[in-house]
Amino acid sequence: MSQDRLEASLDIDRRPTLDIVRIIQQQDALVPPAVAAEAERIAHAIDQITDRLSHGGRLFYIGAGTSGRIAMLDAAELPPTFGIDRDLVRVIMAGGERAYFAAVEGAEDDEDAAIEAVTAEVRADDAVIGVAASGTTPYTVAAIRRSNMIGALTVGITSQSGSPLASEADIAIVPNTGPEVIMGSTRMKSGTAQKLVLNAISTGVMIRLGRVYSNLMIDMPATNEKLRSRAARMVELAAGVTRPAAVQALRDAAGNVRLATVMARKKVSAEEARKLLEEHRGSLRELLGA
């Protein structure tokens, strides 16, 4: 995030609405290349976080204001997408849960609160991602510093190279998004970059943990009619069976897509499918192959 003013938007308040949209979109188009430039560091973070979670650790997102809310959004989507326990990926937000929906005065400056929250929740085998566009938010920097002292893996996502967050984190991911269309409004380009990075990290970790077979969400909970239909399609594709066979397998598997896929593909009972999964450490790729 740059503190400079964007030349292209200096007179944005005087421009026609279509020009406003085009200016915003032209700047938005700069974000994906900035994130792509951080691909190696994002991949490194995925591998290191996966290692922690594979050995009993958890993943924490830490942020304040806009950054914290973006992190919360990513974390909230993981259980319904990948079927993980809600305790596996947590959010520590400056100001607590009430800050998800409204600003909490002074929360982002409260270093003591950050240290207290991290000390209470984070362990040495965990991974912690701090998110702050400026890289200077006291709450987030203090939380990452404390996490380092505990021995947790730390990752910093910021738009400011050389910032305290980038310096403190074990892995610094710093997409250079440049000045915002509205100066200082980090919900725009910086926020978009944060969402793209978090999407890549969380999805990559879930893939590495075996929560995806091919490109299918094999652990997705089927909790409503739309998702039950989607789950049946997953079984169809993964097992290579007809729709009726997929639906029946899902019924027999009590809605478990992974189990139903093995049942349909191998033509075995739920009990036999469970044994096969246990023998292959739950890996559909290992069990089913290509």
pLDDT at residue 244 above 80?
Answer: yes
What pLDDT does residue 96 have? 86
Distance (Å, rounded) from C-alpha 62 to C-alpha 68?
6
Q: Which of 184, 203, 204 is nearest to 66 (CA)?
A: 184
Q: Which residues pair with 93 in a beta bridge?
A: 63
Residues tagged active-site: 77, 108
3-state secondary structure of 128: strand
pLDDT at residue 3 above 90?
Answer: no
The domain defined by 225-288 folds into Helicase, Ruva Protein; domain 3 (1.10.8)
Q: Specify the CATH architecture of the domain 7-208.
A: 3-Layer(aba) Sandwich (3.40)
What pLDDT does residue 1 have? 54
Residues near 62 by Cβ (< 8 Å), separated by ≥ 6?
Answer: 68, 71, 91, 92, 93, 114, 118, 128, 129, 130, 131, 139, 140, 143, 144, 147
Taking the domains of the chain in order of start, what are their residue ranges?
Answer: 7-208, 225-288
Distance (Å, rounded) from C-alpha 255 to C-alpha 135?
43
Q: What is the pLDDT of residues 265-274, one digit of tens each?
A: 999 999 999 9
Residue 4 confidence class, pLDDT cut points 50, 70, 90 = confident
Distance (Å, rounded) from C-alpha 122 to C-alpha 59?
9
Q: Give the count of beta carbons closer than 10 Å to the beta carbon of residue 11.
A: 10
Side chain identity, residue 254: A
Beta-strand ranges (E) seen in 88-232 are: 89-93, 127-131, 153-157, 171-173
Residue 103 confidence class, pLDDT cut points 50, 70, 90 = confident
